[in-house]
């Protein structure tokens, strides 16, 4: 069966290490097991770019008592270790993860990641827009867009639907079909 972790970050500024929220959705045996999210106090605190706040609605006040990324990473790392990571626009989320790990002096794990846009493009060639909201609307999935936990869960649902459409049922099949799209963190 298919196992992966869908991941999403929201950032406080244009700096990649400014994660202010992270969400993960754990998929085991082709089913969503759990979705979790953490607010994070970014290194830029209390500064948040107003454009970012307009997108996700997270303000400095929301994270004033939140843990920093290094405190959250101790909980995330064992969940992510050894799993395929899937994210919508994965280069952004992988970049945020990489930058946060660098900022706090953590070793970058060997982590394979895959973009759910690549899965969607292989699955639904005739779609005009592959944004998360467009894909969710096309599959009648409602969610609170630009909140990390909700985005991670929709990413997982879209990926599972895409795998189903491609008749992929196991991780080795994902690797075989999506090999060129799978990147190393």
Dig out the tokens for 20 from the structure.
């202010």
Q: Which fold has domain 4-184?
A: Nucleotidyltransferase; domain 5 (3.30.420)
Report DSSP letters for 88-110, one per residue.
Answer: TTHHHHHHHHHHHHHHTTPPPP-
Element (H, E) at 112: strand 112-115
- Whether the pLDDT of residue 150 is over 90: the answer is yes
**Contact between residue 109 and residue 76 where contact means Cβ atoms under 8 Å apart:** no
Confidence band, pLDDT 50/70/90 cuts, at residue 126 = confident
pLDDT band (50, 70, 90) for residue 76? very high
Average pLDDT score over residue span 160-184:
94
User: Which DSSP letter does residue 67 get?
Assistant: P
Terminal CA-CA length for the chain:
23
180 pLDDT above the threshold of 90: no
What percentage of the chain exceeds 90 in pLDDT? 92
Determine what percent of the chain is predicted with pLDDT higher than 70: 100
Confidence grade of residue 21 (pLDDT, cut at 50, 70, 90) = very high
Q: Considering the entire predicted model, what is its pTM? A: 0.96
Distance CA 115, CA 155 (A): 9
Average pLDDT, the chain: 96
What is the chain's alpha carbon radius of gyration, rounded to the nearest angstrom?
Answer: 16
What pLDDT does 22 receive?
98
- pLDDT recorded at residue 112: 94
Check residue 108 and give its pLDDT. Answer: 87
Q: What is the pLDDT of residues 38-61, one digit of tens each?
A: 999 999 999 999 999 999 999 999
Planar angle of CA 138, 92, 94, nearest 5 degrees: 110
pLDDT band per the 50, 70, 90 thresholds, residue 110: confident
DSSP state of 126: T
Residue 88 pLDDT level (bands cut at 50, 70, 90): very high
């Amino acid at each position: 069966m298919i196992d992966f972790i869908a991941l999403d970050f929201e950032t406080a500024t244009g700096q990649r290490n400014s994660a202010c929220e992270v969400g993960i959705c754990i998929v085991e045996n082709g089913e969503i097991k759990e979705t979790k999210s953490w607010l994070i106090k970014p290194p830029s605190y209390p500064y948040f770019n107003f454009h970012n706040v307009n997108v996700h609605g997270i303000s400095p006040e929301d994270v004033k008592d939140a843990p920093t990324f290094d405190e959250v990473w101790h909980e995330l790392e064992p969940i992510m270790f050894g799993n395929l990571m899937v994210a919508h626009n994965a280069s952004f989320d992988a970049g945020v993860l990489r930058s946060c790990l660098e900022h706090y002096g953590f070793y970058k794990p060997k982590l394979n990641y895959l973009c759910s846009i690549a899965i969607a493009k292989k699955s639904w060639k005739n779609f005009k827009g592959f944004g998360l909201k467009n894909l969710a609307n096309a599959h009648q999935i409602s969610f609170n867009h630009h909140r990390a936990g909700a985005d991670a869960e929709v990413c997982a649902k879209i990926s599972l639907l895409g795998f189903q459409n491609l008749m992929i049922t196991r991780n080795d099949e994902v690797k075989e079909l999506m090999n060129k799209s799978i990147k190393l963190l």
